Chains A and B, each alone.
Chain A
Amino acid sequence: MKTLIAVLTVLSVIIAFWYAACLPMNIKGVLTEAERAGAEVTPAGAKERRDLGEFGLVLDNSFAIPATWAQDRPRLPAPHQVAQELWKTTGAMVLKGKMMSKRSLFYHGWVTLSATLLGFAIGTGLGILLAVGIVHSRVMDMSVMPWAIVSQTIPIIALAPMIIVVLYSIGVQGILPKAIISAYLSFFPVVVGMVKGLRSPDGMQLDLLRTYNASTNQGFWKLRLPASMPYLFASLKIGIAASLVGAIVGELPTGAVAGLGARLLGGSYYGQTVQIWSALFAAAILAACLVALLGLIERSVLKRMGMGA
């Protein structure tokens, strides 16, 4: 309860700050528009105002304050503008029965989400396989593991534009290139986490299985795999967030066709700030939902395995 109050306070402070920040950010644009519409602006002329401080302008032209929260293409859109745009491109579209139209964020969100999920599935599957290989083979452990760790310090995302173009030139397009980038980004966190998890049973537990005369296979299915679950879920959460980033960045070089990344890029080409912000929030909500969903699965799986807290 105390936490809830604190969180709500912080959130309202952030929103209040956001509204306040709209004033200095948007005032110059608003004043230029107001002057064109024939209003008295001090000082007159956009040139005179260019080098003046934003805060002084706000104080001198207090009549323009409401307009800073209602511009068409503001430098910083107010929270309610973003919320309206979000509603207009999601809920309102659904009510009109055009849920999958090209202007709907559901459509763009689904384009990104499907690439994310496909990539995540590929990346996680391969990651777990490699981790199993690493745990069971000394050679693989010693040769591959250092590179898997080093590769986490490399900005892999720099490869994204190239992967898209190369795959396009050999005739692969659509969802797969983006999914490959997603898979690549979620691959290494899963490998590293899963290796740690599969190694987590201590000597005592491994010895116990040996006294039962358990085969390597049985040891894997009955001890190592269950023991690795908490580690797996921790890295899955990192992996899915990375996958989403990968899918979004993967949409950039294709030139803004569909998807949340395309909305970001399109918005930045045409100065549609409200569109950028709503795409950003849609991506944030999507990421939060995915992580929360994994958290739920984690909780129920761990609980059924007797590890729930």
Chain B
Amino acid sequence: MILVILAVLVWCGGWWLNSRLANGSHAATREVQLLVPVIFGFTLVMVWQLLVRGLMVPLVILPAPTDIASAFGANLSKLWEDFLQTFVKGALSGYVIGCSAAFLMAIVMDRSDFLRRGLLPVGNFVAALPIVGTAPILVMWFGFDWHSKAAVVVVMVFFPVLVNTVAGLRETSAMQRDLMQTYAASYWQSFFKLRLPAALPFIFNGLKISTTLALVGAIVAEFFGSPTVGMGFRISTSVGQLALDMVWAEIVVAALAGSLFYGVVAMVEKSLTFWHPSQRR
């Protein structure tokens, strides 16, 4: 009971601190803007810990953060193997293949007006579909190992990147294109010097959406069959064994991998599209 009351107190304390910070005079500084969400997250984890311990929630319903941390620490090598199998082999290779294929396809579509007219509605349509559903088929075709996971990821990331890249390549104004024409620029010259840079914000939008899709695809594909390693495999078997601390540890890995992946792509975007209004400060 004491722990529960403590949880309420921690929550109120965190909230009070945050409201002081957010409504204080330093609210606009970078440090405070970083500090407030960190305090919020920390408060949430504390409350979780105290409530689980205080209410004696059994492990099979919700493990406490400390349980998860100890499961994480005890299974580091296993988690690392799963990470390599699912993220590096499955998601990352599929992501690279899918995005480059979509990029090349977008250039082809950009050169032919007919193809663009025909493929763009189809691409837009497919991008909204539940493509994860192809996972059982692709697992059947490419076997249980990472190849099938990469194939699912390729299919999942292809259309968002394609649609965004095609939209981006059409982003230049007639004036700009005419200017290139007066310089007697060839197609590729105007492509590399004008249209590709102008398309970058759109391309990166597609790439960023795809980072999450890649992880989702790789994990869900493992629910349909996998070797005895991999994040999706570990999650589904650990759920079966009711080892929820392991499941949560795996989810922590997935969350870290997902946000790191996104962060890296966002950083590359920042360095390449520093000229764009959305990146300027």
Contact = CB atoms under 8 A, between A and B. Distances in A.
Interface of A: 2-3, 6-11, 14, 75, 138-139, 141-147, 150, 152-155, 157-159, 161-162, 165-166, 169-170, 237, 241, 244-245, 248-249, 252-253, 260, 264-265, 267-268, 271, 273, 276-277, 279-280, 283-284, 287-288, 291
A158 B134 contact: no
Given A244-B130, A268-B225, A153 B211 contact: yes
B220 A143 contact: no
B40 A283 contact: no
20 contacts: A6-B114, A6-B117, A7-B118, A138-B27, A139-B15, A139-B19, A143-B18, A155-B219, A155-B254, A157-B219, A157-B220, A158-B251, A161-B239, A241-B129, A249-B132, A253-B239, A265-B136, A273-B137, A279-B133, A287-B129
A288 B125 contact: yes
Contacts of B121: 3, 7
A153 B136 contact: no
Given A138-B23, A143-B39, A158-B250, A280 B236 contact: no
B117 A3 contact: yes
Contact of B239 (A155, A162, A291): A162
B40 A147 contact: yes
Given A154-B254, A157-B216, A284-B129, A267 B18 contact: no
Contacts of A249: 132, 220, 223
Contact of B128 (A9, A157, A291): A291
A76 to B, nearest CB: 8
Nearest to A3: B117
Interface in B219-258: 219-220, 223-225, 231-232, 235-236, 239, 242, 244, 247-248, 250-251, 254-255, 258
B139 interface: yes
Given A154-B259, A161-B239, A142 B36 contact: yes
Contacts of B71: none
B212 to A, nearest CB: 6
B41 interface: yes
Contacts of A7: 117-118, 121-122
Given A75-B140, A161-B235, A166-B62, A138 B132 contact: no
Contact of A142 (B22, B132, B135, B224): B22
- The A interface is mostly helix, strand or loop, or mixed, namely helix
B76 interface: no
Given A7-B122, A169-B60, A288-B129, A268 B136 contact: yes
Nearest to B15: A139
A248 B212 contact: no
- Chain B interface residue count: which class? 35 or more
Contacts of B220: 157, 249, 252
A277 B138 CA distance: 11
B15 A248 contact: no
B115 interface: yes
Contacts of B254: 154-155, 158
B119 interface: yes
Interface of B: 15, 18-19, 21-23, 27, 33, 36-37, 39-41, 60-62, 114-115, 117-119, 121-122, 125, 128-130, 132-137, 139-141, 211-212, 215-216, 219-220, 223-225, 231-232, 235-236, 239, 242, 244, 247-248, 250-251, 254-255, 258-259, 261-263
Nearest to A243: B130
Given A142-B22, A268-B139, A162 B247 contact: yes
A84 to B, nearest CB: 18
Shortest 9 CB-CB contacts between residues of A and residues of B = A6-B118, A10-B118, A143-B40, A268-B136, A6-B117, A153-B262, A146-B37, A155-B215, A142-B36
Contacts of B129: 241, 283-284, 287-288
Contacts of A145: 37
A142 B18 contact: yes
A264 B219 CA distance: 16
Contacts of A273: 137, 140
A138 B141 CA distance: 52
Contacts of A277: 137
A143 B117 CA distance: 44
A152 B212 contact: yes
A11 B122 CA distance: 8
B27 A276 contact: no
